[in-house]
A and B are shown apart, each in its own frame.
Chain A
Amino acid sequence: MGKAKPEASAPVTGKSVLAAETRRLGRSALLPIALGYGVALCGLAQAWLLARLVAGLLGYPVGGWLDLAGAAALMAAAAGLTALQEIAQSAAGRAARAHLRGVAFGRLLALGPADQRAAGEKATLVVERIEALDGYFSKWMPAAALALAVPCTIILVLLFVDWVSASVLLVMGMLVPIGMAVAGIGAAMASKRQFEALGKLSGRFTDRVRGIPTLVLFNRAGAEADGLARAAEELRARTMKVLRIAFLSSGILELLSAFTLAYLAWRHGALLGNNHPNPVAALWCILLVPAFFQPLRMFSGAYHEAQSARGAATELAPLLAPAPASTGLDLAEVPPRVAVVFSEVVLRYTADRAPALDGLTFSAAAGETLLLAGASGSGKSSALALLLGFRRATGGRVAINGQDVALLKPEELRRISAYIGQKPHIFGGSIFDNIRLAQPEADREAVTAAAQAAQVMQFAADLPQGLDTLVGEGGFGLSGGQAQRVALARAFLRDAPLVLMDEPTASLDPGTEELVLDAIRKLCLGRTAIIATHSAAALRGLPGRVLTLEAGRAAGRRMAGN
């Protein structure tokens, strides 16, 4: 595995990731809290006016149209502030997601193939897990701050009015977090399990949807649908376990709220009947009960959002940790010619498997074409991975123009080479865009010339939109051979001094293979080329030295064409 080195000195947890992002947000995280507090103050004032009005209705000489007008004005102010608060808090959520998504994605690209998780799993991290963080910033943070600030304000104000009511609220308010903490411990543990289930289901679903053609051919689509149903059922069972506890915490809240209301109604109802000294204050206390519990209710509602966000953050933490300073040197300029030397190179992916390269030694002079032959699993692809900076050698030395490649940053190393893999990926977009991937500044002429050189035009000319024909994810509409030629065109456009190829002609018919070999010969001209291949035609048809690998080391040498 490529994650041998510890990422950072301090352990990075989901919690610290969220805290760091909160600090980064700064003022935009505080704005929704301030606006929410303003709404609460409006409510506090309005409740007093309402209390006066109700007291008036009960026969006391207070309250009038002026109070009603004041209440209406406060209503309008509160409505405006509510809208602004909601807008501000969703903006905070977006700002956090945009930033964190960029960081996580950048990290995944930097890790490259060394992170062996499947592409779908990585995409889930960047898409769904980041989305799951939204609730923390857009809901939980303002809710948590207001759940503390607003009830405290209400208690403080009521202390001057009726200390008994204030004390009842204080006790009840303090019972809320205790109740939620008790429920929350179970919820946190269950939440982790739920995330595992969700990830498993999502991954399994993608995998099976991609394989629908295979499942259909074996009449297994129905059975697989049943399997998905079972997985969904398992997810439901797990999620309900989380929710049972999460909802219990809000049940506790309802119970406390109902009890408080009933107690205050009983207390003040009785007092009012016996000539209450301050009827407005009594009614104010009752009217403030919903206002007191409202922020706590919001907090409780956002509580499991925070739980899911923490779960997601824990999964994301390794990606969101401050990146280790990119070790290695920059490349001053791409050298015009490249010589490659492997000396006693060892590459071990995991401790329990035999090393992929086990003392591989060879050299390729500048301008030379070297053909790596050997059975699958003999280490051909691993040798290329080292030259691409996807892996670092476990032992020995890989040198380019005499310089150890381990000294260069991986991305700098890749500036030297062009690469064509076993199954080249075709990105969603036009064929033209797919070729221009290699050189974004290239003009139409250069791209067309590369397409010509790689024999792409041979099939693209027959397509309805030529080079501008759209090809989907995975290369819809392009056969393996056509995709290979698009990749070859990329290499032409890239014009790098080192060409690395992994089985470039494996899926081509003899006619096309000849065309492509022709193009490869042209590509290799004046460049250093290292080509892993087991195709007899390629070994015959490409000029250059053949080096056969066996169990990660050189087996023997012979000249091509013999």
Chain B
Amino acid sequence: MLPAGAWQGIEMIRDLYRVWGLWRARGGWLLIGVAVAVASALSAVALLALAGQGVAQGVALGGGALAILLLRPLMLARPALRWAERMASHEATFRALADTRVWFFRQIAARMPGGLGLTGTGDARGRMVADIEALDGLYLRAVLPALAAASVVAVVALLLGAEPGLAALVAVPLGAALLLPFWLARDASRAANAVAAARGQMNRAALDPLLGLAETLSNQAEHRAAARLAETTAAMHEQERLLARRGAIGGASGFLLGQMAMLGALGWALAHGPGSGLAVLGLFMALAAAETLGLVPRAGTALAAAGAAARRLFALADTQPRVTEPTAPAAMPPGNTLRFEAVGFAWSADRPVFTALDLEWREGERLALLGPSGAGKSSIAAMVLKLAAPQAGRITLGGVDLASLPAESVRARIACLSQDARIFDASIAENLRIAAPEAPDAALWRVLAQVGLDELVRALPEALNTPCGEGGARFSGGQARRIALARALLPATPLLVLDEPTTGLDAETEQAFLETLEVATRGRSVLLITHKLVGVEKPDRVLRLAMGRALPAAG
């Protein structure tokens, strides 16, 4: 039978092979690291072996041996090689890891453009940072020590080849120590998975109460939050304990095997009587190899941790995108009329939003879309912007099926203020320029004036360069929303989707903004999604969403 562990082992090897694929671009650096590591390990063996040989020769020849002379250059080469090994291997790892980070971000952006949803950002952050860091174990603590140790065992076997019995006694335990990680990794992989999962839980238990700090405190839940964190920490530590025990047993086994090689050489010599220089060489080589091989059993733990991290990273990165890009994209149409034709849509199969929605948003039209929360207003925005695709019917832009147009081109034509528009932990200018990287300061001031923020920003000591804080924390909710609104107004796109643009604004600001909307968006198609009209919007047409249909509303 194929035990579950073996199957996991195969999966792990597949995942790790994929990691190698991601790192291939850094192959040069990675190979340099391996070469220097092998040279460094061999120099350590040579150093001790020559010292032993020197003593033996000293006895045989009566002092002044060749081996001792050879020691001098090695004495300097060994530390230099050791330093170079560590520098080269870390350089390689950091480069490879940066690639992984960016690759992962791109994957999520491409496959989950609507956000991470239920997975939780705390968890994703934990995955990204901790898992990617765990991947450095793959190269630094698994691949490098294993290859260095393999080269040492090969050299030992080769040098002792003249006496096959001695070679076997020394090389077989050393070889076993070399294979130990592969035997351990299978088992440790499960433990490492458990640690990573427990760590994700702990991460969430820490972040969630901090994100909802006001709710936690006002409900006197601080002790419960602390207890929950202690509980998840204890669960993580229990898994870590199991992993540490495995690691300790692995380390002790490696130590034992190295010692057995050494004692084996001595036993062989005892059995063959005195005067065997080769046995002394064997003893000292085993002694030297033990140092290199001592790192190898731990490589199993590192391998397993990297495997678990890789599995979680790929699981997230392999999420099926909601909207697939067209294989043969059509040319962007000149027209800008958007039409929904019998569109059926559901976020999940058991909650249909639309079964057959017909809707037309004409070029240059200011269309207001009304409806209670949950009526599907934001779903329409998501489909227009290709964050979601209809499951039935079709949407056309200028007469061309939206499904056949590349998402980037569509989004370049349609600016959007979404409900969850995020203000980043960057300056006001940087936040605005997300919408139009080349926009001059004058353009920034113009849109800030349109949302009534110019005076406030001008009064700030750093003006446009004022940092906004995470999620716009530096500003009040209404101010942050207005920055997001200004950002959506900045690019000169022919179409503009405003999803509840005035949420969180006080009545006066809301009124003032909506009054300027006509001027600010002149000549552009505007889709104003809102739950109520305050009376100053002056839309060309009003549609009301109800029961999955868009019906004309009395203006």
A103 closest partner in B (C-beta) = B226
A80 proximal to B (CB < 8 A): yes
Instruction: Give the contacts of B96-112 with A (CB-CB under 8 A).
Output: 97-99, 101-102, 105-106, 108-110, 112
Residue among A202, A236, A261 making CB contact with B95, cutoff 8 Å: A236
Q: Give the residue among A82, A86, A121, A473 with the most B Cβ atoms within 10 A.
A: A473
Give the nearest-CB partner of A426 in chain B: B212
Bound together, the chains give a CA A233 to CA B95 distance in angstroms of 7
Q: B266 on the interface (CB 8 Å rule)? A: yes
**Looking across the interface, which residue of chain B has its beta carbon closest to that of A226?**
B102
Interface centre among B126, B209, B385 (most CB of A within 10 A): B209
B125 is an interface residue with CB less than 8 A from chain A = yes
Question: How far is B337's CA from A326's CA once the two chains are assembled, in angstroms?
Answer: 64
Check A265/B63 contact, CB under 8 A, given A58-B56, A216-B411, A376-B509.
no
Q: Which of A121, A207, A212, A266 contacts B113 (CB 8 A)?
A: A212
In the complex, what residues of A have CB within 8 A of residue B222's CB?
106, 109-110, 411
| A419 adjacent to B59 (CB under 8 Å) | no
Chain B residue contacts of A418, Cβ below 8 A: 218
What's the nearest-Cβ distance from chain A to residue B51, in Å? Answer: 4
Residue in A56, A76, A123, A235 with the greatest tally of chain B CB atoms within 10 Å: A123
**Are B83 and A248 interface neighbours, CB within 8 A?**
yes
Q: Does A402 contact B (CB under 8 A)?
A: no
Task: Please report which residues of chain B, range 38-95, place their CB below 8 angstroms from some CB of chain A when the two chains form the complex.
Answer: 47-48, 50-52, 54-59, 61-65, 68, 71-72, 74-76, 78-80, 82-83, 86-87, 90-91, 94-95
A153 shortest CB reach to chain B, Å = 20
Chain A neighbourhood of B440, CB < 8 A: none
Q: Which of A53, A218, A425, A479 contacts B211 (CB 8 A)?
A: A425
A202 to B207 Cα, complex, angstroms: 14
Cα distance A389–B237 in the bound complex, in angstroms: 35
Q: Is the CB of B425 within 8 A of A437?
A: no
Q: Quick one: closest A residue to B271, CB to CB?
A: A65
Contact A255 B531, beta carbon cutoff 8 Å: no
Closest residue of chain A to B227, judged by CB? A102
Inter-chain contact B57/A425, CB cutoff 8 Å? no
- What is the minimal beta-carbon distance from B554 to any residue of chain A, in angstroms? 15
Q: How many interface contacts (CB-CB < 8 Å) are there between A and B?
A: 463
Please, which residue of chain B has its CB at the minimum distance from the CB of A287?
B287
- B506 touches which one: A219, A265, A376, A512 (CB < 8 A)? A376
- Max chain A Cβ within 10 angstroms of own Cβ: one of B218, B260, B434, B506: B218
State the majority secondary structure of interface residues on B.
helix
Name the interface residues of B249-271: CB closer than 8 Å to any CB of A.
249, 251-253, 255-256, 259-260, 262-263, 266-267, 269-270
Residues of chain B at interface, number, CB under 8 A: 162
Q: Are B129 and A109 in contact (CB under 8 A)?
A: no
Q: Per-position contact with B for A207-246: 1 when CB-CB < 8 Å, else 0? A: 1111111111111111111101100110110011001100
Expressed in whole angstroms, the minimum distance between the Cβ of A549 and any Cβ of chain B is 11
Q: State A166–B470 Cα separation when bound (angstroms).
A: 61
Nearest-neighbour CB distance to chain B for A453, whole angstroms, equals 17
Quick check: is B504 within 8 A (CB to CB) of the other chain? Answer: yes
Smallest beta-carbon distance A3→chain B, Å: 16
Contact B252 A79 (CB under 8 A): yes
Is B279 in the interface zone, CB < 8 Å from A? yes
Task: State the CA gap A290–B210 with chains docked (Å).
Answer: 50
A-B contact list, 23 entries, CB within 8 Å: A50-B262, A57-B279, A59-B59, A86-B247, A98-B230, A102-B229, A109-B222, A113-B217, A116-B469, A209-B124, A213-B420, A216-B387, A228-B102, A232-B102, A262-B47, A272-B55, A273-B63, A352-B461, A437-B215, A480-B373, A482-B373, A490-B219, A507-B500
